[in-house]
């Protein structure tokens, strides 16, 4: 009941603030899944300037009858986030979903942040993972700074409780962004130390991407120690790389190809990750989107994810209406989703 009051109150505040805003976004979606029931989601955010904004979302699932929420308040010196959210702090925790809160303090170009709650590794769009309850208690204390224009540094210490033992992670991420005509080049390197059972485990990741117009080349190469908790696309013990190339076939058809190879040092397994995603702008008001991801595990545990969406853009693309079907096939389970999403950025 308290949750509902908080959420309702936040929506009333958001809608009632009528003075000039800079931009905002509203999203309504529903998805029915063969294994996980039906989800309803409504979200709204408003920004008055680069560092002054409010947002809220509610997610309801018919199977577990749970209401999850997400609230954030951003001000020039303070950010408060509460509920279920993706913190996106660095590459090694890129797929962390946290049910808890975040407090950030801004001093000049510095951000000092503290997060606490229960986390899990998940990937947006994949029903089998988005319906997992975050269950790893963790706390993160970190510092992020910008120096000499386009260089970013993030340091953090994470403590997590797994199997009733407290483990610690120290992480350094360095990012350099170079502006190019019609795009940018982004280079990132990250080093991670994980303290478990008095042993120090070392992991490293290099990431690079170049985007010019509709051309995009992205890739990473990395190693995640087998004893380190995985909260990214690398599984525990993975050593390998992934490359993706977005290269338009014409001014209407935009495919993106990806290929990856990983050797898992923990389970002694070889994995090949293949993907293709394509968008076809049939008309100004119709866009067809298809996606296939095939993860081949040479020991037989294959995984396939497919998605087909019919999108109906309106208002110069500021409004995006989508109908889609998704299918996930694992070695021991499969599920199918039908969904609808309306989003409007104003």
Using CB under 8 A as the binding rule, the residues of this chain from 20 to 39 that contact other proteins are 23, 25
316 binds other proteins (CB under 8 A): yes
Binding mask 296-315 for other proteins (x = CB under 8 A): -----------------x-x
Instruction: Give the shortest CB-240-to-other proteins separation in angstroms.
Output: 24
Residue 335 CB neighbours (<10 A): 17
Using CB under 8 A as the binding rule, the residues of this chain from 103 to 142 that contact other proteins are none
Q: Based on CB atoms, which residue is closest to other proteins, 139 or 218? A: 218
Q: Which residue is it, tokens 């303290």?
A: 195
Instruction: Give the shortest CB-50-to-other proteins separation in angstroms.
Output: 5
148 binds other proteins (CB under 8 A): no
340 binds other proteins (CB under 8 A): no
**Contacting range for other proteins; rule: CB under 8 A; set: 73-81, 107-115, 127-135, 316-324:** 316-324
Using CB under 8 A as the binding rule, the residues of this chain from 175 to 194 that contact other proteins are 179-183
333 binds other proteins (CB under 8 A): no
Tell me which residues touch other proteins (CB under 8 A).
Answer: 23, 25, 47, 50, 149, 179-183, 211-216, 246, 248-252, 254, 281, 313, 315-318, 320, 343, 345
């Amino acid at each position: 009941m308290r949750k509902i009051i908080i959420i309702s109150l936040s929506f009333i505040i958001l809608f009632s603030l009528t003075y000039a805003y800079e931009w905002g976004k509203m999203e309504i979606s529903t998805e029915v899944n063969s294994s996980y029931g039906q989800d309803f989601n409504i979200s709204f955010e408003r920004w008055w300037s680069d560092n002054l904004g409010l947002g809220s979302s509610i997610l309801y699932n018919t199977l577990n009858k749970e209401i999850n929420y997400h609230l954030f308040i951003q001000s020039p010196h303070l950010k408060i986030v509460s509920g279920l959210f993706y913190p996106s702090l660095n590459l090694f925790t890129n797929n962390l979903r946290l049910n808890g809160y975040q407090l950030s303090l801004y001093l000049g170009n510095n951000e000092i942040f503290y997060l606490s709650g229960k986390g899990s590794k998940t990937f947006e769009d994949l029903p089998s993972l988005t319906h997992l309850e975050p269950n790893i208690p963790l706390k993160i204390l970190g510092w992020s700074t910008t120096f000499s224009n386009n260089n970013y540094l993030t340091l953090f210490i994470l403590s997590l409780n797994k199997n009733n033992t407290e483990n610690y992670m120290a992480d350094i991420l360095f990012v350099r962004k170079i502006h190019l005509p019609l795009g940018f080049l982004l280079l990132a390197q990250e080093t991670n130390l994980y303290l478990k059972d008095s042993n120090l485990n070392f992991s490293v990741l290099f990431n690079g991407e170049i985007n010019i117009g509709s051309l995009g080349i992205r890739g990473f190469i990395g190693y995640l120690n087998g004893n380190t908790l995985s909260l990214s696309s690398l599984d525990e013990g993975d050593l390998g790389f992934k490359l993706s190339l977005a290269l338009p076939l014409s001014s209407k058809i935009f495919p993106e190809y990806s290929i990856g190879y990983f050797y898992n040092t923990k389970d002694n397994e070889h994995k090949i990750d293949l993907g293709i995603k394509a968008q076809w702008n049939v008309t100004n008001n119709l866009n067809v989107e298809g996606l296939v991801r095939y993860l081949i595990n040479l020991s037989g545990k294959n995984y396939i994810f497919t998605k087909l969406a019919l999108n109906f853009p309106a208002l110069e693309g500021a409004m995006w209406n989508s109908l889609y079907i998704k299918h996930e096939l694992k070695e021991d389970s499969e599920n199918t989703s039908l969904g609808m999403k309306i989003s409007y950025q104003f």
